[in-house]
Amino acid sequence: MPRVFCGIDWASDHHDVALIDQDGALLAKLRIDDNPAGLARLLNLLAEHGDTHDTLIPVAIETSHGLLVACLRSTGRPVYAINPLAAARYRDRYALTRKKSDHLDAKVLANILRTDIAEHRQLPADSELAQAITVLARAQQDAVWDRVQAGNRLRSHLREYFPGFLPVFAHFREGIASPVVRTLLAAAPTPTEAAQLSRTQLRGLLKKAGRQREIGPEVERLHHLLREPQMQQPPLVEQAMGAKARALLRQFDAACASADELEAATISSFEAHPDAEIITSFPGLGSLTGARVLAELGDDRSRFADARAVKAYAGAAPITRASGKKTTVLARHVKNQRLAAVGYLWAFAALTASPGARAHYDRRRAGEEHHTAAQRNLFNRMLGCLHHCLTKHILYDETTAFPTPPQRSAAIAA
């Protein structure tokens, strides 16, 4: 058990530090700048109070990101990221008047480790490659969400003055993100301009967008769609809305390019990780979704005590509330939202990639579970298998994950 505990209340340009002993007495307090000199002052203060390579002083801070956290983790010391809501609850124990200051917050964080260090999880000791994958996978997911948002804004704007363009991208699998759609809209952002496009111009736009096959039928389809009668805004208003569409399209193009670039970088880093082969051996997990799973779980095997901890972290395990004779089983809402999001995609893709997963889902549905609950249960099952495979360093095996039920085996033998 450590004898000294450190709490850091961080800010954008400075940080308040408090050191307390195992009895709760304040040993030292310090305000440091967010620069190398400030970090050196912090490390010297820790060394003055017994911080050595063998007995590193644990640190509590309200964030898991930033250069300060990265530098503290590089020293090998345990760093605990305390949820700000939890820290606010602890503050009431030390300040009944509800006063608040940076120094008090740092002291509260140190006291959290002194009294309840076993109730909080320190930041995992992931490898450098795993941390890089986390940065890339989360950035790519953010870029995808930005792309969806930008596409929705553009689609909503088109509906106000150019509804005849909407059937154009309904034909493409990528929807409004299709290169053909974006190239066509950039060339003719208004109904008047689109109706004036000749077949020769449409053919050139399709080739510019990278279309190589079935250009002729597509030219005829677009030529017919863009000339269908439709309601239009007044000419000056239409031109103004076309200019706005071009601006929205530039934002959309940037979001699409960012998502594609980050996807390539994420997949490249993920495939270099030793756990990639195990993760992608699971049905429904490709390189990109596998990278998102690895980004949230990490590669520190001591992070989760067992499979139940992984399932709770992902939100796949339900919560049971019991009071007297009443017991209620509810879905878990406090979870890693990114892991839960990729879990939905994983479970959905596994339905067609794994006969066992499909049979498991069908059994849950036959038990009158809703689609979302059945998928969440399948995700829960697959997470348990993934934890086992990563721990034992073995590939996924369908017959082990979903053994054939005895009655079905007898029927097959007959």
Digitized pLDDT (tens) for each residue of the chain, 414 residues in all? 678 999 999 888 889 999 999 988 999 999 998 899 999 999 999 999 988 888 899 999 998 888 899 999 888 889 999 988 888 888 877 766 667 788 888 999 999 999 988 888 889 989 999 999 999 999 999 999 999 999 999 999 999 999 989 888 888 888 899 999 999 999 999 999 999 999 999 999 999 988 888 898 989 989 998 998 888 899 999 999 999 999 999 999 999 999 999 999 999 999 999 999 999 999 999 999 999 999 999 999 988 989 999 999 999 888 877 777 787 777 788 888 999 999 999 999 999 999 999 999 999 999 888 999 999 999 999 999 999 999 999 999 999 999 876 555 444 444
CA distances from 219 to 98, 163, 175, 177, 202 (A): 69, 19, 18, 19, 6
Query: What residues does each domain of the chain span?
Result: 4-123, 133-268, 277-411
Global pTM? 0.84
List pLDDT tens digits, range 249-303.
999 999 999 999 999 999 999 999 999 999 999 999 999 999 999 999 999 998 8
Q: What percentage of the chain reaches a pLDDT higher than 70?
A: 96
Give me the pLDDT at residue 96, please. Answer: 66
Domain 4-123 listed as CATH 3.40.50.2300: no
**Distance (Å, whole) CA 144 – CA 151:** 10
List pLDDT tens digits, range 170-188.
888 888 999 999 999 999 9
Give me the pLDDT at residue 34, please. Answer: 87
Give me the pLDDT at residue 266, please. Answer: 97
Give me the pLDDT at residue 230, please. Answer: 86
Q: How many CB atoms lie within 10 A of CB 239?
A: 15
**Distance (Å, whole) CA 295 – CA 282:** 16
Give me the pLDDT at residue 383, please. Answer: 94
Cβ(117)–Cβ(7) below 8 Å: no
**Distance (Å, whole) CA 100 – CA 112:** 16
HEC secondary structure over the chain: CCCEEEEEEECCCEEEEEEEECCCCEEEEEEEECCHHHHHHHHHHHHHCCCCCCCCCCEEECCCCCHHHHHHHHCCCCEEECCHHHHHHHHHHHCCCCCCCHHHHHHHHHHHHHHHHHHCCECCCCCHHHHHHHHHHHHHHHHHHHHHHHHHHHHHHHHHHCHHHHHHHCCCCCHHHCHHHHHHHHHCCCHHHHHCCCHHHHHHHHHHCCCCCCHHHHHHHHHHHCCCCCCCCCHHHHHHHHHHHHHHHHHHHHHHHHHHHHHHHHHHHHHCCCCHHHHHCCCCCCHHHHHHHHHHHCCCCCCCCCHHHHHHHHCCCCEEEEECCEEEEECCCCCCHHHHHHHHHHHHHHHHHCHHHHHHHHHHHHCCCCHHHHHHHHHHHHHHHHHHHHHHCCCCCHHHHCCCCHHHHHHHHC
Query: How does the average pLDDT of the chain come out, rounded?
Result: 90
Q: How many CB atoms lie within 10 A of CB 411?
A: 10
